[in-house]
Structure 1
C-alpha cells in the first residue's frame, strides 16, 4: 500500500543577528573583551546569516521565552490547525511529536496530549511523544506515521521541533570551565518546527505528491554530542565519525535495495549539522555526492544555522514547496545526531 506526504509546513520564530546573540551570551562586562572578540570572530566564520531564536536576550542569564506564542505547544497547535484545514479534523487519526530541547515545563499531561486537547483532534490511535532521540527523531516519527497509515488508512501528522536556545550556556566569567567547551554549540544552534501530514493512497486525490518508499533507522552508541553538568558540548570528531556511519547504515542499504544510484536522487535533504559535516558526504569513501546535490542543505545552514531535529525537514519543505520534482523524481531525507541515532526517508514524486 502506497503512502504519500500530502503537505509540509515550517515555522521559524524571529530571525536575530548572530552577533547580537554573541554579545548577549558573552557580554564584555561578564567575560571580558578578549572572550567577546573570540566569540564574534567565530560567529563570523560560521557564517550564519540570521538565527531563528526564541530566547529573550534581555533577560539573560535567566533563559525565558521572548514571546508566549513561541511556546512549543503553541507551535504544534499552529501546524496542526493548518493540516486540519487541509483534510478535516476527522481524517487525522495519529499524531507523533518529537524533539530534544523545549521550553515546555508543565509536562503532565504530556505535551502531545495538550496539543490533542487544544486542537480537538479525535484520534483513533494513542499519540506519541518522542523526546531525546537526537536529530534523527523526526525520522522515527515518520516511520511510525507510515506504519499507522498503512494499517488504519487515515492521515497521520508528524511534528518535529527543537528550541536549542534553551541550552545556550551562559558563562559566569572568563574563567568558566565550560566557556570554551560550549562556544561551538552556542554559535551553531537555532529554533524552529516542521510538520508533515502523511496519507494513505485512498486519500490521494490528484496531482504529484512524494510517495514514501522507505524509512530506514539505525543506531550506534556514542557520546560525541552530549550534556555535561548542564552544558551542551560537541566533540570535534563528530564530523569524522557520524557521516560514514550514516552512509553505511541508512543510505547505501536503501539505495541498493531499490536499485537506485546516488546520482539518480535529485533532492537531498541532509541534516545541517554544519558545513563540514555536510561536506563529508562529498567524500567518495562516505557517499560521493556532488556539490550540487548538497547545495540546498548547505544553503539552509548558512541562512539559519542548525535547527537540530527539524533541520533536514526544513530543506525538504523547500523542495516540497518548490514542487520542482517531475513524476518519478527521487529524494532522500537524512537525519542523524546525538546517541547516535540516524535515519533516512526515500521518496519518489508520483
Structure 2
C-alpha cells in the first residue's frame, strides 16, 4: 500500500523578504555607534566577536534604514509590523498559488502564525481584504509559538483540509523580528541582534497526490525550559531572552521529537535523505548535528539559509525546505524530515515523502 494515499500534500512553497539588506559589518557598526555607551567593555568585545562570525553574512529587515530602529515609538513599530507582515504574507501567498496555477477563488482555508507582533483583528483579515479571498473562508490566527510555529500551523491546516471540499488550505508564517528590536548590556539582546531577521513563507495544501506528502507530525513541550527561550515584557516592550544553555537543551529536545516521529514508521536516522532544520544559530545547528548523529551534508541547506537570511523565526524552516527543493535533489520516494523549535520550550517535527 502506498503510504501517501489519502494524505495531505504540500503542493507549493513560496517565500518573501523585505528589500532592505544589511551585512554583519554594517549591523555591528550600527550597534556600536548608537549603543556603545550602554555596553560594558566585555559586552563590546563579545559583540564584535559575534558579528565577525561567518555563520551569518547578511539579513533582510523590514526598514528603510537602520536608523529608524533607534528609539522607535511603539505606535510606529506596530504600524511597521502590520504593514510588512501583510505585504510579505501577500507576496508569498500569491507566488505559492501561482506556482500551481491556482487563484484566490480556490482558497477555502487560511492559517497565519506569528510571534513578533500582535494586532486585533489578526493578519488573516488584512490578507482576506488585500487579496480578495472569499469572505466565507475559514481563517485562523496563531500567536505565541515562537520560532517553532510553522509546523503547528501546518498541523492545523492538515486538519482543516479534511473538510475543505475541493478547495486548498494556505499556511502562512510571517515574522518581523525587527519589530522586537531592543538593545542593552544583555547577552541575549546582543545575540538576537546578530542573527534575527524578517521574512514570510506560504505553503499550499491540497488533496491531490502531487507534491510532498505529509505522512506524520509530532510535537513535544518542555515547559521547565520556558525561560531558556522566550520573549519577556520589560516596560511594555518585547525583549528576547536566550539562555547560554540553549544549544544543549534544544538539541536534546529535537533528538527526542525526531525519535518520536520516526519510531512508529520503523525508520532510522540513516533512512532520511533530507533534513530541514530551523536554523536557530550556528551553535544550535552544531549541537543538533552531534546529538542526532548527522553528517554536514544533511545540514547544507540549513546552514546556507542561516548565512543568507539569518534566523527569521517561524518561516525560516520553510526557507530551508524550499532550498532543498530548489536544489532538485529530492527524488520520488525519498523521505524528508522538517524540524522547528522555539519558545516554550517546544519542538515539532514533520515527516514528508516525495
TM-score bracket, normalised by the shorter chain, equals 0.7 to 0.9
Contact 2:229/2:242 (8 A) holds in 1: yes
Which residue among 193, 217, 220 is the counterpart of 1:218?
220
Q: What SS does the corresponding residue of 1:244 show, helix, strand or coil?
A: helix
Deviates more, 1:93-102 or 1:73-82: 73-82
In structure 1, the partner of 2:3 is none
Is the CA contact (8 Å cut-off) linking 1:19 and 1:40 kept in structure 2?
A: no
Superposition deviation, residue 289 in structure 1: 1.5
Say if 2:231 is the partner of 1:227: yes
Matched, 1:50 2:58: yes
What residue in structure 2 maps to residue 128 of structure 1?
A: 140
In 2, the alpha carbon distance for the partners of 1:336 and 1:179 equals: 23
Q: Indicate if the aligned counterparts of 1:192 and 1:307 stay in contact, CA closer than 8 A.
A: yes
**Which range moved further: 263-272 or 54-63?**
54-63
Q: Which moved more, 1:326-335 or 1:113-122?
A: 113-122
Alignment of 1:1-350 (within 5 A): 1-13=6-18, 14-27=20-33, 31=37, 34=41, 38-45=46-53, 47-55=55-63, 56-63=65-72, 71-85=84-98, 86-102=101-117, 107-122=119-134, 125-153=137-165, 154-171=167-184, 178-201=185-208, 204=209, 209-221=211-223, 222-228=226-232, 229=234, 230=237, 231-248=239-256, 250-283=257-290, 286-349=291-354
**Structure 1 residues 109, 29: closer, same or farther in 2, change over 3 A?**
closer
Distance 1:302 1:78 in 2: 23
Distance (Å, rounded) in 1 between the aligned partners of 2:283 and 2:122: 37
Task: Give yes or no for contact 2:105–2:134 (8 Å, CA) kept in 1.
Answer: yes
Worse-matched range after superposition: 302-311 or 178-187? 178-187
Shift of residue 121, structure 1, vs aligned partner: 1.1
2:295 and 2:109 mapped to 1: Cα distance?
Answer: 38
Distance in 2, matches of 1:48 and 1:70, equals: 26
Change (3 A) 1:2 1:261: same
Unaligned runs of 5+ in 2: 1-5
* TM-score calculated relative to the size of structure 2: 0.86
| Aligned-pair CA distance for 1:168 | 1.9
Q: Distance in 2 between matches of 1:170 and 1:277?
A: 22
- Counterpart Cα distance in 2 of 1:28 and 1:195: 35
Query: Structure 1 length as normaliser, TM-score?
Result: 0.87
For the 8 Å contact 1:336–1:342, the answer to whether it is kept is: yes
Structure 1, unpaired ranges of 5+: 172-177
Q: In 2, are the aligned partners of 1:8 and 1:320 still within 8 Å (CA)?
A: no
Name the SS for the 1:26 alignment partner: helix
Change (3 A) 1:59 1:273: same
Higher mean alpha-carbon deviation, 34-43 vs 213-222, is at 34-43
Q: Check 1:244–1:159 CA distance in 2 against 1; reply closer, same or farther (3 A cut).
A: same
